[in-house]
Structure 1
Amino acid sequence: MALSALALSNYFDRKYLMKNATLHIIVDPLCGWTYGSVPLITAAENIDGLIVKVHSGGMLTGDNVKPVTPAWREFALKNDSVIAKKTGQVFGSNYTDGLLKTNDIILNSAQAITAILAAQELGISGGEMLNSIQHAYYAQGKNIMQLHVLADIALELGLNKALFETHFNALEGDATDQHIAQSRGLLHDIHGQGFPSAAFEFDTGKWKKADIAHYYGKTEQWVTYLQQSVALV
């Protein structure tokens, strides 16, 4: 059936708005709830015309880095169990019975954040690199605080390993710290409630908070919500 003139106009208006909308998502690579939201981030990146920007807030960086202790392991396992039930994400035995029992690991988000920034410079989306890093950590039990692990992940995504390491080294330190500070500023500005938090930005200058936490494990509903939220603005 042919679209009426009004329907056709509304269609193109919506397509135009979609092309001028950005979804900002603030995450942390060592946050279990961020891992639970990865299917939502991936789905958002696959919506035509919606720009997705991933920002890393550095939950476990600076003075907040943590050693893996028995107390942390107990906390993590309880939290991860809730996340798994709510989102369907897999926490593998190499993580639960391997990595979390390794007492000499210091949990630090900075290396993974730098890796995401390096991958983005080389054409990999923030969501795709985040997904791969968190899968390596939570599903496979790999130590993502190590550069060689992160470089192997980049290689699996089709990047040149040596080139990735060059970009990583250039971004490590000050550039990563600046990104974390900017991400935390954004988290404050949108009144985010931890990781992940999300908000739409429109070319009109208007912002609108996106209720990402409501859609854990509900990817199809999340896609509909994104499309409707953007189209109705």
Structure 2
Amino acid sequence: MTDPSAPDSLHVTYLFDPLCGWCYGAAPMVRQLAATPGITVELAPTGLFSGDGARPMDQGFAAYAWSNDQRIERLSGQRFTEAYRQKVLNAPALNARPQMFDSGPATLALTAVSLTAPDAERDALNAIQEARYVDGRDIVSPARLAEILREAGLDAAAGLIATPSDALVAANRARTNKARQMMAALGAQGVPTLVVTDASGRRMLRSNALFGGFDDLLAAIRAA
């Protein structure tokens, strides 16, 4: 792991939520950043859309989300497919049982990966995001999330979220609390947000830095 105290090293904390469309849009830039020598990217799920931040899915919210998603696609090139629109956003209109917009289960799944295969967490996040936005799959159900993790070869994590232990729930709470405390300390208003740490301290980058050119992002990080 890169030492943030080293003069030429940078530690970047990526504050995100797995149900955030903008975070999905930022995924290619985050992947490229993580592959850049001298930079370590730490995933920090905030749980913003879980607990009190969760809400019922309804037609009004679905229409708002789809409009927003089209803007994200234009800016990032990330796909928001018709399968996602019909099977996820329009699902409440097709089913009598109400569904929730709740990132709690997906956040717990990522914590399970962080405990069992930490080097695979970024790939797990990508798999969960693509399952929703490309394949139109349910990432609110723990059972469906376990399927996605198994398909990614993460059987141990899948087993953990099938029957969450007190230790997993506590670890998840600690991660999200830490991320939210960082947001509050730096005045972050939402996600995605990057926090840059090096020998001189810790600074926040605005989320729009993730939706331009990569060279511009890298320059902003190094100048932060």
TM-score scaled to structure 2, two decimals? 0.84
Q: Which residue of 2 aligns with 1:88?
A: 77
CA distance in 1, matches of 2:15, 2:121: 11
SS in structure 2 at match of 1:17: coil
Distance 1:80 1:60, change over 3 A: same
- State the partner residue of 1:30: 19
Tell me the alpha carbon deviations over residues 69-92 of structure 1, each in whole angstroms, 9 at most, x when there is no partner. 011111111111111111111001
1:7 maps to what in 2? none
Distance (Å, rounded) in 2 between the aligned partners of 1:87 and 1:211: 16
Question: 8 Å contact 2:47–2:103 — kept in the other structure?
Answer: yes
- 8 Å contact from structure 2 (residues 112, 168) kept in 1: no
Could you tell me which residue of structure 1 aligns to residue 183 of structure 2?
Answer: 187
Q: RMSD in angstroms over aligned alpha carbons?
A: 2.1
| Distance in 1 (alpha carbons) for counterparts of 2:134 and 2:24 | 10
**Over residues 81-125 of structure 1, what are the superposed CA-to-partner deviations in whole Å (9 max), with x where a residue is unaligned?**
111111111001111122111112212111111111111221334
Specify the code of the residue in structure 2 equivalent to 1:190: L
Q: Aligned match of 2:7 in 17, 29, 36?
A: 17
Name the CA shift for 1:64/1:139 in 2 (closer, same or farther; >3 Å): same
Superposed counterparts of 1:47-196, under 5 Å:
47-103=36-92, 104-121=98-115, 122-159=117-154, 161=155, 163-168=156-161, 169-170=164-165, 172-196=168-192
Q: Sequence identity, in percent?
A: 23
Which whole-Å CA distance do the structure 1 matches of 2:81 and 2:56 have between them?
20
Conserved 8 A contact 2:18-2:129:
yes
- Structure 1 unmatched runs, 5+: 1-15
Q: TM-score, normalised by structure 1?
A: 0.81
Whether 1:43 and 2:37 are equivalent positions in the alignment is no
State how far apart, in whole Å, the 2-side matches of 1:166 and 1:215 are.
34
The worse-fitting range, judged by mean Cα deviation, of 142-151 and 86-95 is 142-151
Structure 2 unmatched ranges of 5 or more: 1-5, 93-97
- Secondary structure in 2 matching 1:98: helix
Q: CA deviation at 1:65?
A: 1.4
C-alpha distance in 1 between matches for 2:206 and 2:123: 21
Q: What SS does the aligned partner of 1:52 have? A: strand
User: 1:47/1:177 Cα in 2 relative to 1: closer, same or farther (>3 Å)?
Assistant: same
Does the 8 A contact of 2:13 with 2:194 survive in 1?
yes
In 1: Cα distance, 2:31 partner to 2:216 partner? 14
The alignment of Structure 1 onto Structure 2 pairs a total of residues equal to 210
* In 2, Cα distance between equivalents of 1:219 and 1:166: 37
